[in-house]
Amino acid sequence: MLQISGAVPYCPLIFSVAVIFCVILWNNIDNLKRHLVQAPILNNHHYEEFQLSSVKSFSSYPTRLQFLLILAYLAINVAFVGIEVQPPHNRWDQLAAVVRDRLGVLATVNMIPLFLLAFRNNPLVYLLGIPFDTYILMHRWLGRIVAIEALGHTIAHLAQHGFAQTSLKLMISPSSPFVFWGFIATMSCLLLCALAWGPLRHAFYETFKQSHVCLSILSIYSLWSHLRIGKLPQLKIIYAIIALWAAEHISRTVRLIYVNARRPSANALVESLPGDACRLSVHLLPSWDIQPGQYTYLYIPFISFWESHPFSVAWTNETHYVSDKSGTQISFVVKAKTGMTRRLYERSVAAGGSFTTTCWLEGPYGCPRSLGSYGTVVLIAGGVGITQHLLQVKSLIHGYNNDTVATRKILLIWSIRHRKHREWVKCWADEISSLREGSDVFQILVYISQPPPLSGVPWSGFTGRPDLESLIANEQKYQIGTMVVSVCGPAQLSDSVRDAVRKLRGNNSIDLIECAFSW
């Protein structure tokens, strides 16, 4: 006779419980977003870094959901180390050996997701629709876990030998290569974490980036040497990591060659703009499809050969690069900070306002999200963050004119420090205004921290900083259909918008999209 597994009769019950659980979650989705998904663990700060003092900061705050995921991952690692660990006959040296081995295995295994989360071609970005900066945040925390496990592995090894001086000497002596390369791997992991400290990373980003790659290679090589000499089975994991890393870089190289070999010209026009910025324009074939919200990495070899930086695509236009051929011109606004962006701006100023240079593009990256299903769209930008929203506005107005989107209200709020910053996007804002065809579907409000207010432009200008909660609440009060708020700007601005949306959630349907380049 057919025997039914003992677990099968419980399947309907399990399914029913799962359905009830999903219904409860769906009915309380706003509360979950307000108190778990979008809520930081402390205060109202998420992107703004945790301040140790007036000049020192540590790291940005994860959300409560991210914190729970990190905590759960850490708890699993702790459980794997501590489960069924008992000192046989009070032999603490044997206990230290067991802990050492487990920590070493965990540190090695955790390197697989550690590397995957940092890849530009991370498939999870497109599969799950989770932004790249979230994976980078998890990458940082996973890196700290790996570094702690590597340090614990080293300390447990010393504890096994009673912290004898001879053990310390062997650890730093090439005469004992197995222990020596393990020590180098641990030090590389610790140094990677130390140099990734927020203030150092932001102040010396290009130096951080190159040192991060070099130290990552050193850590992999030293770990490979450590495992190879010890003939340990975890060596296969290192080969898997090397294969993944090589595949990712090969795919990026192929993508870079494919995109740029088909361009009508490898040159880019760089024009200086008021307010320490420049506009960079390149020509592409029409087949290169750019969606709102996407970004590309730019390589400018004559400014900085080895470096590439991500920039939002601010605008696209059909153009003619040869008399009988059409193409697409895409433009970026680059704010001069340090390193490559500063050198690019200074070169454009020295050249009399504009110059042409070789520029290679890698991309586009980012998971585009259409906002056409929302009746009310509120876009908030700070400074150069305006580039994230311009194509979205253009697309929505085109959809409104052709009656292909549900959007009926678009409000763009732009906060800038100086009046001259409006020149960054004035030509595109004028073009957007001409697309409205007399309708009132689109409105832009510009807030300037320093007077005087705007004059002679088709925008509403105000002096001071926007009261974001009041502005969003007013739009929610008169919203049409579902409402979305999208923000791109400095950390303080993003956190203020997040806090305002959380407070207003529950009155009417409202979603939040955060566009951050926090890496």
Tens-digit pLDDT profile for residues 181-233: 999 999 999 999 999 887 788 777 878 888 999 999 999 999 999 999 999 99
pTM of the full predicted structure?
0.85
In a domain, 44, yes or no: no
pLDDT of 300 above 60: yes
- 124 and 231 housed in the same domain: yes
pLDDT of 53 above 80: no
- 251 and 268 housed in the same domain: no
pLDDT bucket at 96, cuts 50 / 70 / 90 = confident
In a domain, 37, yes or no: no
In a domain, 38, yes or no: no
Residue 340 half-sphere exposure toward CB, CA atoms < 13 A = 21
In this prediction, residue 429 carries a pLDDT of 85
Average pLDDT, the chain: 84
- 106 and 151 housed in the same domain: yes
Which of these three, 365, 390, 420, is where a domain ends?
365
Q: Which domain holds residue 360?
A: 263-365
In this prediction, residue 307 carries a pLDDT of 82
- 132 and 193 housed in the same domain: yes
What distance in Å separates the CA atoms of residue 5 and residue 67, rounded to the nearest whole number? 39
Of residues 25 and 279, more confidence is placed in 279
In a domain, 1, yes or no: no
- 387 and 504 housed in the same domain: yes
Whether the upstream peptide bond of residue 9 has omega within 30° of 0, thus cis, is: no
Q: Give yes or no for a contact between 498 and 472, defined as CB atoms under 8 angstroms apart.
A: no
In a domain, 408, yes or no: yes
Give start and end residues of each alpha helix (H) in 365-467: 390-401, 426-435
- 406 and 333 housed in the same domain: no
Extract the tokens encoding 320. 């003619």
What distance in Å separates the CA atoms of residue 226 and residue 105, rounded to the nearest whole number? 12
In this prediction, residue 338 carries a pLDDT of 82
In a domain, 34, yes or no: no
Number of separate domains in the chain: 3
What distance in Å separates the CA atoms of residue 143 and residue 125, rounded to the nearest whole number? 19
311: CATH: 2.40.30
Percent of the chain clearing pLDDT 70 (strictly above): 85
Contacts of 426 (CB under 8 A, 6+ apart): 457
Tell me the chain's radius of gyration from C-alpha atoms: 27
In a domain, 211, yes or no: yes
Extract the tokens encoding 503. 């407070």
Residue with tokens 């305002």: 500
In a domain, 12, yes or no: no
504: CATH: 3.40.50.80
- 299 and 359 housed in the same domain: yes
